[in-house]
């Protein structure tokens, strides 16, 4: 069900030497309308062919090999690892190793120490000898980069599970935190939904400190140096707290610890989804299975059985091996596909759109979830990202679902849209912006803990999510409402000095700007306003010489990469969507459309090896395999609509 990914020869250079480009021919004159129309029709037909009989679309959600390494480690921990699974996963992990022996977190990215360590350990499990050339190269990089001692906390937790790191040398997170009320600092609802689902089971694992030894040790990955500690005021304060918690860990109040473990188990079990997952994402899934197993849930217990069986649905097997998706995005992919096909000219009553709308309506979340803690009197409504996730609907999917459903003629869409609008209106944060899963999830204290050295752990408002909500509400006639006006002010205040917007869930400033400009125009901001003109100027200044746009994931860490990178179909489309919304019919627009036409494959889709989706800025990235198709379809469709007399 996913577009085939072909090998490309694109290369990334450092941003301080030259603007990165693809191998396509340089832009020439404006593309002929008939060529654009032909490209759109090919892409539209390819997208239609990918629809499932049930009505949904789902592209592969590709991440990095930590998913596959940790899957093998989980199975080793639970005693269910098989030779076939190990061999297939190892084949995939080896295929992702680079010539220097390392693994990265995204295509063409820099080496990542923790990812390389986890991949190396998985290959040791698969029987790869330490003196094999690919293993020697990996181990040499690990030592040069600081060894196991310099890896992130989560990697060292995995190693502690197998006796390769001391539990005494890891930060402590006590399970007693599940008793903290919602107003108290560091209670579980201070964490983002993905983090709280991970932290609660991890407190169980770290409290029980299991060790299930591996058949080998890892001296070749050690340097003997102590892990670095933060030296700022917060680092000293939380270092002192961690030392106190280590003392408590050795002598906990037994009755309180027992009650906390029991409460944590209840909390975990209550949040298992119908498909066996936790939140439909990998991190809480694996830690929940380990925590429950440690608390006495054997592998045949229904909760454990559902959890293990559910992983099969997230597993992809092909000629390259066996790999695990960190998450699945059918609701997101489906609503984006509906919007794209509507942009391509499909009528609202087209069977594909009606079938998709019917499936989306069946996926509506009608019950409360953890979001209710901050909004207890708000009636539910909206959509989640995954096939089965009734606890964590999100504002981003809900906004895009509204935009998609209103492009269809499904007779039952109206009530669901009204419920979603009511829910979205109530999910605004105090400052007027929107986070993805919770309102006012902004307490930065969580981010200061020694435990949290990987990934975003809170869910504050972001420009891209806020923009999607604004666009959806404006489509329902609410442009003049107080909630939209406040959100527009939030967006205007969030504009970067250079004219762009930061992209939380997509790479990066191209995504943020591509999301915000159409929303502001939909809200009634005039196209000649300074905010719009500065955004247009930023996009035009960051167009590649070949006509496309690209932004490397390193832009989250290194400002030199902002707006720079190999041209990709999805990012080129995002820039075009913003420019078209701003009323531009310029050489920049023609160049971007020409790039899409020239780089289209014969089967109607595009190649996109580079990652353009973001999980955790600076840490975890995603290649949504359907992005390369749905966004170009929308961009080409809107371009042709503007071109028609």
| DSSP class per residue in 172-240 | ---GGGGGS-TTSTT-GGGS-HHHHHHHHHHHHHHHH------SS--GGG---PPPP---SHHHHHHHH
In the residue annotation, 396 being an active-site residue is answered as yes
Q: Which domains does the chain have, with CATH numbers?
A: 33-61+327-427+462-643 (1.50.10.20), 64-324 (1.50.10.20)
How many C-beta neighbours within 10 Å does residue 569 have?
28
Helix/strand/coil for 575: helix
Quickly state the pLDDT bin for 28 (edges 50, 70, 90). low
Q: Exposure pattern of 412-432 as b/e (b: 16+ CB <10 Å)?
A: ebeebbebbbebbbebbbebb
pTM for the whole structure:
0.93
pLDDT of amino acid 231: 66
* Buried-exposed string 609-638: b where 16+ CB fall within 10 A, e elsewhere: bbbbbbbbbebbbbbbbbbbbbbbbbbbbb
Write the Ramachandran bin of 500: left for phi over 0, alpha for psi from -120 to 50, otherwise beta: beta
pLDDT in tens, 249-307: 889 999 999 999 999 999 999 999 999 999 999 999 999 999 999 999 999 999 999 99
Q: Answer whether 341's CB lies under 8 Å from 636's CB.
A: no
For 463-486, what is each residue's pLDDT tens digit?
999 999 999 999 999 999 999 999
Residue 315 burial class via C-beta count within 10 angstroms: exposed 0-12, middle 13-18, buried 19 and up? middle
Beta strands at 613-616 and 620-624: parallel, antiparallel or unpaired: antiparallel
Distance CA(121)–CA(148), nearest Å, equals 11
Residue whose structure tokens are 């329902």: 476
Instruction: Answer whether 224's CB lies under 8 Å from 148's CB.
Output: no
Residues 35 and 330: their CA atoms lie apart, in Å, by: 31
With cut-offs at 50, 70 and 90, classify the pLDDT of residue 2. very low
Choose the catalytic residue: 85, 396, 438, 552.
Answer: 396
Q: How far is CA 152 from CA 77, 146, 148, 159, 622, in A?
A: 20, 11, 9, 11, 20
What average pLDDT does the segment 435-455 reach?
A: 85
Decide the pairing of beta strands 61-62 and 321-324. unpaired
pLDDT band, residue 7 (cuts 50/70/90): very low
Per the DSSP assignment, residues forming a β-bridge with 621 are 614
Asked if 326 and 623 count as a contact pair (C-beta separation under 8 A), the reply is no
């Amino acid at each position: 069900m996913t577009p085939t990914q072909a090998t490309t020869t694109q290369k990334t250079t450092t941003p301080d030497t030259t603007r990165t480009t693809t191998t396509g021919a340089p832009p020439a004159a404006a593309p002929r309308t008939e060529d654009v129309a032909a490209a759109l029709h090919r892409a539209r037909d390819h997208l239609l062919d990918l629809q499932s009989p049930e009505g949904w679309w789902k592209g592969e959600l590709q991440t990095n090999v930590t998913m596959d390494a940790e899957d093998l480690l989980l199975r080793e921990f639970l005693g269910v690892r098989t030779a076939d699974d190990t061999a297939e996963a190892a084949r995939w992990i080896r295929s992702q190793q680079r010539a220097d022996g390392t693994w990265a977190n995204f295509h063409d990215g820099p080496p990542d120490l923790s990812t390389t360590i986890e991949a190396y350990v998985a290959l040791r499990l698969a029987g790869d000898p330490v003196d094999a050339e690919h293993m020697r190269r990996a181990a040499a990089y690990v030592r040069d980069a600081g060894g196991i001692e310099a890896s992130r906390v989560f990697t060292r937790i995995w190693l502690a599970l197998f006796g390769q790191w001391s539990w005494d040398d890891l930060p402590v997170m006590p399970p007693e935190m599940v008793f903290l009320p919602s107003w108290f600092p560091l209670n579980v609802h201070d964490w983002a939904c993905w983090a709280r689902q991970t932290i609660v089971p991890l407190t169980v694992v770290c409290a029980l400190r299991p060790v299930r030894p591996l058949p080998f040790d890892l001296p070749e990955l050690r340097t003997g140096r102590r892990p670095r500690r933060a030296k700022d005021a917060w680092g000293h304060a939380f270092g002192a707290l961690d030392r106190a918690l280590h003392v408590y860990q050795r002598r906990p109040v037994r009755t309180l610890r027992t009650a906390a473990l029991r409460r944590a188990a209840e909390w975990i079990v209550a949040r298992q989804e119908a498909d066996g997952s936790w939140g439909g994402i990998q991190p809480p899934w694996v830690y929940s299975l380990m925590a429950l197993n440690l608390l006495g849930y054997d592998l045949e217990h229904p909760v454990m059985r559902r959890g293990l069986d559910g992983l099969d649905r997230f597993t992809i097997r092909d000629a390259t091996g066996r790999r695990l998706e960190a998450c699945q995005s059918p609701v997101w992919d489906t609503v984006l596909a509906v919007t794209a096909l509507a942009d391509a000219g499909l009528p609202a009553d087209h069977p594909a759109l009606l079938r998709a709308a019917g499936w989306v309506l069946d996926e509506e979340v009608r019950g409360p979830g953890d979001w209710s803690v901050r909004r207890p009197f708000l009636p539910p409504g909206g959509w989640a990202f995954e096939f089965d996730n009734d606890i964590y609907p999100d504002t981003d999917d809900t906004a895009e679902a509204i935009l998609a459903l209103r492009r269809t003629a499904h007779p039952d869409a109206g009530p669901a849209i009204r419920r979603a609008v009511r829910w979205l209106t109530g999910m605004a944060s105090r400052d007027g912006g929107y986070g993805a899963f919770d309102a006012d999830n902004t307490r930065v204290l969580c981010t200061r803990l020694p435990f949290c050295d990987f990934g975003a752990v809170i869910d504050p408002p972001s420009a891209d999510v806020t923009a999607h909500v604004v666009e959806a509400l404006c489509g329902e006639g609410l442009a003049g409402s107080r909630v939209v006006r406040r959100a527009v002010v939030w967006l205007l205040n969030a504009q970067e000095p250079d004219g762009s917007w930061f992209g939380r869930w997509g790479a990066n400033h191209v995504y943020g700007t591509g999301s915000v400009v159409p929303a502001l125009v939909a809200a009634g901001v005039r196209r000649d306003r300074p905010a719009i003109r500065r955004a247009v100027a930023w996009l035009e200044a960051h167009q590649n010489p070949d006509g496309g746009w690209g932004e490397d994931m390193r832009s989250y860490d290194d400002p030199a990469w902002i707006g720079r990178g190999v041209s990709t179909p999805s990012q080129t489309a995002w820039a075009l969507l913003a420019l078209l919304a701003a009323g531009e019919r310029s050489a920049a627009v023609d160049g971007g459309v020409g790039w899409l036409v020239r780089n289209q494959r014969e089967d109607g889709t595009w190649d996109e090896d580079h990652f353009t989706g973001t999980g955790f800025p600076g840490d975890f990235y995603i290649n949504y395999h359907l992005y390369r198709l749905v966004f170009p379809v929308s961009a080409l469709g809107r371009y042709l609509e503007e071109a028609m007399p």
